[in-house]
Structures are given as structure tokens and as C-alpha cells.
Amino acid sequence: MRLSSFPFFAASALAVLIATSATAACADDLKVFAAGAIAPVVRSVAADFEQRSGIRVTVENATGGAMEKRIRSGAAFDVAVVPDAVLNSLGKDAYLDAASARGIARVGIAVAVRQGAPAPAIATVAQFRKTLLDAPSVAVIDPRAGGSSGIYLEQLFEKLGIAAQMHAKEVLVPGGLVAEKLVDGSAALALHQQSEILQVKGAHLVGPLPAAIQNYTVYAGAVSSHASSSATARAFLTMFADTRARRAMQEHGLSPEAD
């Protein structure tokens, strides 16, 4: 199904859900696992879904790697919105209903400095590399925590031939908003997904990585194989194609992803 047909489908699915919400087929509560950068959008959709359906939605957020570990350890949930590589792995091992999976949004990695600090040159790969080498400290998600940007950046530093220099100055963040390290003075530069930088008051978004080395994380959603109500969970997923959800993606620095 193409994304352009989703809004009608979303409204129809929600209408059916509301009409049958008094039956045992629908859940009273919905638990959603959201990874990293897409969490603000998931919370926005959850609020809209609650208002329109009367079903309470709980959103829990962590890195994609942390969410995968929780799911594999048996944590109860109804919907997962995670990087597509994580979703595919979980679907292959039957933790998720692969038939319910759909692409939602994508986001690239960006550079930030503290508000008021000079913006470094990052338009070309050479400029970006020099900026990294010149910075006294650089905050990134700890790749061991399973954050997609941290995993990619570790590989990128190797590719650029500056891994040793970067390891000596990295401020590794186990999870959460990397750009907060700019505000508290722990780092002079931050590299994180654009949508997460935009959440930090006091951080200035300089711009995305040069196109030649940019990496996009695609977020996708799917219903748990053990959802309390697959009908409710599926109705929730359709909401990401709604105009309000797509607007929230754009406001938070993500691009809607065609399914």
C-alpha cells in the first residue's frame, strides 16, 4: 500500500476501533517501545490516538539496541518503532508480526555546538574532518549502547583515518540527548541524529554531515507477536500516515518514509 493511501486507511481503521472499543477485542491500554530519534513523534501520535480512541498509550524510549535487548528478554509491549535493521531482526525471530511492519520516517546525523559558539565549517568531507580534529571534545552516543548514530560514527572515524584521535577526545553518552553535553560544558561539539539535537534547548544545529558520508536511520513500526490486541496495535500504526503525524516528523527533523 502506498503512503498516499494511508490517511483514508488510518481514519477507517481508527473508526472501526472506536466502534468496537467496548468489546474484548480491543485493549484498554497500549504499550509502545520507541527507539531514539523518533520518540517525540511517537509521543505526538500517542496523544492524538488517546484523544481519538480513548485508549491510554504508554511510550517507553531507549536506544534501538536497548529496545532490542528488552524485547528479546521477554518485556511486554504492543508496538515497536525502531530502526528497520532492528525490526527486521526481531521479525525474523518472531518477536514481531512481520506482516504488520511499515516504514515510518528517516533521519540523518548532524553537527551541533553550544548556542552562541562559532559554527564550524562542515560543508565538505575535508572540512568536517578538520572540524573534528580541531574540536577539543566531541560528544557521541556510545556505540556499545546500541545507538545507530554511534555505531555508524565509530566506523566513519576509522574510514576517515582519525579513530585514534577521536577516541582520545570522545564524550561517550550511553543514551538520551547527546547535545545536552554542549549545554553543560562537557563537550565542544556534538554529533547526533538531527531530530534529537533539535530537542535540546541551548544547542545550535550547525547542519547535517556532508552528503558523501551521511547516514540515514530508517525507523519502522510493527505489532508485537504477543500484543494484547493486534487490532488496537495495528490501528495505532496507521496513525503515522496521518497528516498531523507527518507534520510532527518534519517539525522534529525527520522525513516521512514511504511504506
Alpha helix ranges (H) inside the chain: 6-19, 39-53, 64-72, 84-92, 125-134, 148-159, 163-169, 180-183, 194-197, 230-238, 243-251
Burial state string for 218-254 with b = 16 or more CB within 10 A and e = fewer than 16: bbbbbbbbebbbbbbbbbbbbbbbbeebbebbeebbb
C-alpha cell at 94: 518472531
CA dihedral 257, 106, 54, 16 (to 10 degrees): 20
138 with 171: CB under 8 angstroms?
A: yes
Q: What is the pLDDT of residues 90-149, one digit of tens each?
A: 999 999 999 999 999 999 999 999 999 999 999 999 999 999 999 999 999 999 988 889
Assess whether pLDDT exceeds 50 at residue 166: yes
Assess whether pLDDT exceeds 90 at residue 207: yes
Assess whether pLDDT exceeds 50 at residue 9: no
Assess whether pLDDT exceeds 90 at residue 221: yes
Distance in Å from the first CA to the final CA of the chain = 7
C-alpha cell at 235: 490501528
pTM for the structure as a whole: 0.78
60 with 69: CB under 8 angstroms?
A: no
Specify the 3-state DSSP secondary structure of 133.
helix
Q: Quick one: average pLDDT of 165-194?
A: 96
What does each C-alpha distance from 245 to 44, 87, 163 come to in angstroms?
7, 20, 38
d(CA 258, CA 4): 9
Residues composing the chain: 259
Closest CA to 63 of 38, 44, 97, 88: 38
CATH domain 107-213 topology: D-Maltodextrin-Binding Protein; domain 2 (3.40.190)
145 with 65: CB under 8 angstroms?
A: yes
Query: Same CATH topology for 3-106+218-256 and 107-213?
Result: yes
Q: Quick one: average pLDDT of 2-16?
A: 45
Class level of CATH domain 3-106+218-256: alpha beta
Domain range annotation of the chain:
3-106+218-256, 107-213
26 with 231: CB under 8 angstroms?
A: yes
